[in-house]
Amino acid sequence: MVHRVVVTGLGLITPVGIGNEAFWTSLINGVSGIDAISRFPADNLTTRIAGEVKGFSPEEFIERKEVKRMDRFSQFAVAGTRMAVEDAALDLQKVDLDQVGVVFGTGIGGMETFEDQTRVLLEKGPNRVSPFFVPMMIANMAAGQISINIGARGPNFTVVNACASATNAIGEAYKLLQRGGAQVVVTGGAEASVTPLAFAGFCSMKAMSTRNEEPSRASRPFDRDRDGFVLGEGAGVLILETLDHARARGARIYGEVVGYGCTADAYHMTAPAPGGSGAARAMAMALADAGLQAEAVDYINAHGTSTDLNDKFETMAIKEVFGDYAYRVAISSTKSMTGHLLGAAGGIELAACLLAIRDGIIPPTINYENPDPDCDLDVVPNNARRRTVRVALSNSFGFGGHNASVIVQRFEG
């Protein structure tokens, strides 16, 4: 039996707001979450701006003792899970916890812990390194902490696919539920890499925007004057359930997951394959998995990083898959507001797709001022658009050539 899979809960911790409605209100109003870095001195870096999460208090969701034993990315993950469980009205006392799984993504994992304990090693010696160093740092610990926190004893694994991590995690969660491997899965991604070493590395790559004097205008996907991505942090957590399980408990449904595709470029460590060939195959696979024609898609939440090659090649990939319809489908990059959350990006971006379906509003690509002839599709420039959205596709592409696309549609019963 192949089970239908629906989304019943969202938990969002983002640079444009904590909580689903704060996040969504910011997006549809074109509010940027990019500002000068406040978490560490950045004067000696070429990029000094980021999408930081403001006002986050992990103690609101996690016991103080446990907070100290979690890296910031795991704190985001557990807090986002608590929010998503509440949003889904999922009573953990009444569900079979053996049938609750966790499939979670992160691109880098416990970077802050890694840097802190490296300093301890160099300054104070090996005997002062924390016994919690390794279990706080390792990338699977967000998934582990989620399961510990809510008692989920079902399948549990972590996807580490750079910027495609959360979208791959959601896709794998969908497939797990579809084949009956669980009844409920917590999925999405978390990232907390606004740290000195991570920034130094990305700056050395010349991958990030240096528009430091105009932070809110720095992330400008598809714009001719884009000069790199802006790093963000946070978590996007989704509760996926089999339709039978959701119906049995009378759950509210945001939408149905209907398609998933993932491919590899097999081309380069950081550059996308020419023409976006791998991205095109991922989108085509997702459409085939959903049994949909390209013309059925009303909205594409693009990977849209604000880097030269990504935006150009993603545009080419959409044209390859969607043909003439590519010029009529609405496309936007919410990274123009949130920055790029790396392994968490796909979580908050699929949430944006589901909220667009719910409200009939497509969030804009802000900072679109100068058209690029290589990026000539409808990127919903600068202002949200009211339009019925029945089907939405979310793209994520990562270093290493990882490509993932997920399709959600309005639940029709």
pLDDT of residue 298: 98
What is the C-alpha separation between 142 and 158, in angstroms, rounded? 8
Which residue out of 3, 245, 262, 303 is catalytically annotated? 303
Partners of 105 in beta bridges: 159, 189
Q: Is residue 375 among the annotated active site residues?
A: no
Per-residue pLDDT tens over the stretch 335-387: 999 999 999 999 999 999 999 999 999 999 999 999 999 999 999 999 999 99
What is the C-alpha separation between 346 and 404, in angstroms, rounded? 9
Q: Is residue 262 among the annotated active site residues?
A: no
Residues 6+ apart with CB under 8 A from 103: 143, 155, 156, 157, 158, 159, 169, 170, 172, 173, 176, 185, 186, 187
Other beta carbons within 10 angstroms of residue 366's beta carbon come to: 28
DSSP type of residue 231: B
pLDDT of residue 20: 98
Which residue ranges of the chain lie beneath pLDDT 50?
none
Which residue out of 3, 163, 203, 375 is catalytically annotated? 163
Q: Is residue 303 among the annotated active site residues?
A: yes
Asked, colleague to colleague, whether 5-248 and 257-409 share their fold, the answer is yes
Burial class of residue 411 (count of CB atoms within 10 Å of its CB; 0-12, 13-18, 19+)? middle
Per-residue pLDDT tens over the stretch 286-326: 999 999 999 999 999 999 999 999 999 999 999 999 999 99
pLDDT of residue 413: 80
pLDDT of residue 384: 98
pLDDT of residue 1: 86
CA-closest candidate to residue 26, choices 16, 35, 14: 16
Break the chain into its structural domains and give their ranges: 5-248, 257-409
Q: Tell which CATH architecture fits domain 5-248.
A: 3-Layer(aba) Sandwich (3.40)
Which residue out of 3, 203, 245, 340 is catalytically annotated? 340
pLDDT of residue 135: 96
User: CATH number of the domain at 257-409, please?
Assistant: 3.40.47.10
pLDDT of residue 183: 98
